[in-house]
Amino acid sequence: MSRLSRDDLLAGGIFLAFGLAFALTSATYDIGSLLRMGPGYFPMVLGIILSAFGVAIILTAVLKAVRGHPATAGLDEGGIPWVRGALVLAAIMLFGFMVAPLGLVPALLVATFLAALAGHGTSPLGAAVISVGLTVLCIVIFVVILQLKLPLFPTGG
């Protein structure tokens, strides 16, 4: 027996969890019958199928390990970029929180600064330069050229 593929187990687990979540939520809607399908029918069936696929992936991984096949490697090796990843996600989330109340310019400045900070070898000063440059570029493209009607600054309301 060789090592179990952790990737396969996790992937199977994720699909199983999503499948069960969708199937259980569907059960709270009207299921109906084949003739008169309610809103819950189709997602319920799909949820069950997805759970079954999740189980199949887990079982295949276990079978492989029992038979002594080498575990399949994922597409990526190496560590998860926790800090850089968090910066990128924070950039997106903060843009979402800021853009409506504060306008495009502040939201873009903050978002591009945080995202740029995630780059390999970008200093805070470098990130600030990139951020100002990209903000100007975006305003030119989206507001000047494409004429999107987005407020640039706090509207004071």
Partner 1 sequence: MDWSNVALGIQTALTPTNLLFCFIGCVLGTAIGVLPGIGPTATIALLLPITFNFEPVSSIIMLAGIYYGAQYGGSTTAILLNLPGETSAAVTAIDGYQMARLGQAGKALATAAIGSFFAGTVATVVLAAFAPPLADAALKFGPSEYFSLVVLGLVASIALASGSMWKALAMIVLGLLLGMVGQDVETGLPRFAFGARELYGGLNFVSLAVGMFGVAEILRNLQTGIHRPSMVGEVKDLRLNRQDLRQIAGPIGRGTLLGSALGILPGGGHVLASFTAYSMEKRLSKHPERFGKGAIEGVAAPESANNAAAQTSFIPLLTLGLPAHPVMALLIGAFIIQGITPGPNVISDEPVLFWGLIASMWVGNLMLVLLNLPLIGVWVKLLSIPYRILFPAIIAFSTIGCYSLGLNTYHVFAIAFFAVLGYVLIRLGCEPAPLLLGFVLGPLLEENFRRAMTISKGDATVLLTRPISLTMLIIAALLLFAAVAPSIRKKREVVFAEDE
Q: Which of 65, 105, 106, 112 binds partner 1 (CB under 8 A)?
A: 112
In which element (H, E) is residue 82 found?
helix 82-102
Report the site for partner 1 in 10-49 (rule: CB under 8 A). Answer: 10-11, 14-15, 18-19, 22, 25-26, 29-30, 33-40, 42-43, 46-47, 49
Is residue 8 at the binding interface for partner 1, with CB under 8 A as the rule?
Answer: yes
Cβ atoms of 111 and 95 closer than 8 Å: yes
Q: Which of 24, 100, 124, 154 binds partner 1 (CB under 8 A)?
A: 100
Size of the site for partner 1 (CB under 8 A): 78
CB atoms within 10 A of CB 28: 8
φ, ψ at 146 (rounded to 5°): -85, -10
Is residue 136 at the binding interface for partner 1, with CB under 8 A as the rule?
Answer: no
Q: Which of 56, 63, 66, 140 binds partner 1 (CB under 8 A)?
A: 56
Q: Which of 3, 69, 74, 153 binds partner 1 (CB under 8 A)?
A: 74
Cβ atoms of 62 and 76 closer than 8 Å: no
The span from the first CA to the last CA of the chain, in angstroms, equals 67
Nearer of residues 79 and 156 to partner 1, judged by Cβ: 79
Residues in the chain: 157
